[in-house]
Structures are given as C-alpha cells and as structure tokens.
Amino acid sequence: MTAMLGVDLTGRRVLVAGGGPVAARRAETLLAAGADVLVVAPALCEALAQVVRAGRVRWEGRRVEAADLDEAWLVHTATGDPAADAAVVRWAEDRRVFCVHAGDVASGTARTPAVARQGDVLLGVVSTAVADPRRSVAVRDALAAHLEAGGADLRRRRAARPGHGRVVLVGGGPGDPGLLTLAARAALAEADVVVADRLGPVSVLDELPADVEVVDVGKQPGHHPVPQREINRILVERALAGHVVVRLKGGDPFVFGRGGEEVLACREAGVPVEVVAGVSSALAAPTAAGIPLTHRGTVGAFLVMNGHDGWGAAALTGLRERGLTIVVLMGVAVLPDLVGEALAGGVDVGTPVAIVENATLPGQRVTRARLGDVVGVAARAGVHAPAVVVLGEVAAEGLLAGAAAPGAVASR
C-alpha cells in the first residue's frame, strides 16, 4: 500500500544519482520545491550540465558512493546502471532515507507522483499497485482540467488570517459565461469575496457557493451608487482581512475598466494583486455580430474609444479617410453628439454604422444605418446600453455572408 505524503524539502539535501535526462527532470522538479540538490554522476547530459553551470545544483563528477547519502533527506537514483541503482536503494534502506528508483519504482521506498498545480493546491496522482506512469498522468490531466475549469471549490476552509489575502482582477468578457477564460474560472473557485459589476457574465454568480460574499458595485449610465474610491476601499479592506477577493469585471480589466486604478490602490496598500485578462466587448461584440474589425482589401486597422471622451484627432481622421474601423464603447447615450461631431468633421454621411446590443447574450440585437441616419434609426429601434458602436466600411450589411449573428435583429 502506498500512502500520499506532502514533504517540505525547502533547504533540505536531496541526492540525485545519475546524470542523464531522467536525472535532469528530477533535479528541476526538486529545485522548484526549494531543495538543496546534490548530483553525483561521472558525466552529465546537456540539460543537467546547464543547470550545473548556472550554479543551481552542486555536482560531484564521479560514481555515487554510500557516504553521499549521509546528509540526504531524500534520494533519487537514475544512473541507468541496475547494479548501481540497486546499491543506492540498499544504502538508503540502511540509513532510513526514502529513495525513488527511477528504473524500478517497486524496489524503491518512495514514488514520484504525477503532479499539477492550481493556485496553492498541489495535486498528485500515484499508483498504489504496479507502477503505471501513463495511467497516473492521464488521471492527473483529467483532474487538472477539472480544477482549471473552476470545477471544484478551492477556497481555504480555515479562518482568514489578516494580512494574508490578495486581490484578483478578473476580466469576465462581454456576458456569455462560455467566454470566461480557464484562469477566470479558477480564480472564482478560490474566491471568498466577489466584487461584481452589473455587466459581464453575472450568471456565474449563481454558481458560487452560498457562503461566498458577493458585493454588487454595478454602475448604470448616469448612476454610480458605489464610486470608484469606495470600490478600491472594499477590495483593500477585504484582502487585508485575509480574504481572496475577485473583482469580476465585464470585458477586460484594462480596457476602460479602471483596472489600473484598482491595481494601484492595492499596491499602495501592500495587497498582492494579479490581473486575469478577459475578452473585451470591443472585440467580442463585432465578432458576435459577424463584423470583422479588419478585412483584407477593406481596412487594416481599428481604434477603440470611449464615447464620453469624444472624438480624438486620429479617430476622426482615420474614419474620414476610411483607413480605420472605429469601435465606440459607452457611446449610446452620447450618440447624437458623436454623430454631429463626425459629420461636422467631414466624415461621409453614408459611412456604415452598426450598433450591437447585449453582445453574445440571447437578447443580442444588431442595428445598422448610415451615419447620417443612425441617430433616428437607433431612437426608433429603442437601442439602449450595453451596446457597442462600430463605424466604418466593415459595418456595412452584407460585407460577409451572414453578417448578423443568428437570432440578431437588423434594423435600418
């Protein structure tokens, strides 16, 4: 019977007997665990020689001897010589030191599991009967995929320790939970607190365990009940209390999402913070509507802008000269102003415009019109946020076969 045991090798001597590729892989794994690795072998393969040249392990260029095990906490033998490996196993047994025999797992006193890491959880799979590395790897890969997809609750169960929390800014994408990345799912699986917007994949909140704290800081056009400074305070306060805090944002945290401000607030407070990229609605909404932002022979570049900031010179010039596709986020409320400024700036009245509402969700709708008509068409269609506005030749209906996504409504 084999028992699984987590062993702390940090700073502890581990002997690797052998200098071939197997020994090189074992040495790298042990170094990652923080072990003090001693390699004993007459010669080294190139991979292991590089590790030695880098000063990461010590090397004795000779055959392994019994005395090499005297200060070791663990031994890996992979000399490729059955007699030498058998001797190392005997010497380890005499010294009551666990030994992994790479060439004959059954004769050693320890086995190396197939491992995978998800956050601070280390998953190990090992056979309790005849060694079967391929089966162990297959099981590990299946379990690792389950964890990566957020399929298990990975929250810490012991009481939070003040000062040991962290913040993860997660880009949730445009709304369809299927567009959440694996990294986003994994972060949610570890979350004690989720600070959520009203946009993005809010349906995933229903999948969280009942005792995960969800803080709603959603903003609506013209109504920001929780100002950014307060959001920053919530993130820092919960993390300093020892919690894993996920800031679930629509789109990508760094595309008009104020993610940079939240990162700075965490760093100023000494809170560890990381960012998980998301699919920006600037890219996802046109794609969902069948609109290619670049198209060979039509346009080769695009620019993303915040509608409330108004036109920049580059955007207006690119649109006027038909050299850019313009994607406007948060532009529905200011659409009349944007259109008026564009027309006054010399943009062709016939420039195609497409407005994509609720992109990637069941209620997605695409409204198309010429620049000169789009304000009236949008008003009659009852266009509302959240929506992405696309201007340029690629927004023309019929540019691609099936230009509107299935189920979308096209208005003119």
Which are the catalytic amino acids? 197, 219
Rounded distance between C-alpha atoms, residue 196 and residue 73, angstroms: 47
Please name the helix (run of DSSP H) or strand (run of DSSP E) that holds residue 116, with its range, or none: strand 114-118
Written as one string, the DSSP assignment of 272-295 is -EEEE----HHHHHHHHTT--SSB
The percent helix, strand, coil of the chain (3-state, each to 5) is: 35, 20, 45
Contact 324, 315 (CB under 8 A): yes
Q: Which residues of 295-326 are buried (b: 16+ CB within 10 A; e: fewer)?
A: eeeebeebbbbebeeebeeebbebbeeeebbb
Buried b (16+ CB within 10 A) or exposed e, 7-21: eebeebbbbbbbbbe
Q: CA–CA separation, 128 vs 168, rounded Å?
A: 38
- 371 close to 348: Cβ distance less than 8 angstroms: yes
Neighbouring C-alpha atoms within 13 Å toward the C-beta of 258: 14
- Run of H or E including 388: strand 387-391
Helix 21-32 vs helix 46-53: angle between axes, to the nearest 10 degrees?
40
Q: Tokens 């090798």 appear where?
A: 9
Helices (H), 105-210: 133-148, 182-190
Note the Cα 77 to chain centre separation in Å: 37
- Tell me the C-alpha distance between 252 and 58, whole Å: 45
230 phi and psi, to 5 degrees? -70, -40
Q: Which two tokens stand for residue 240?
A: 């300093």
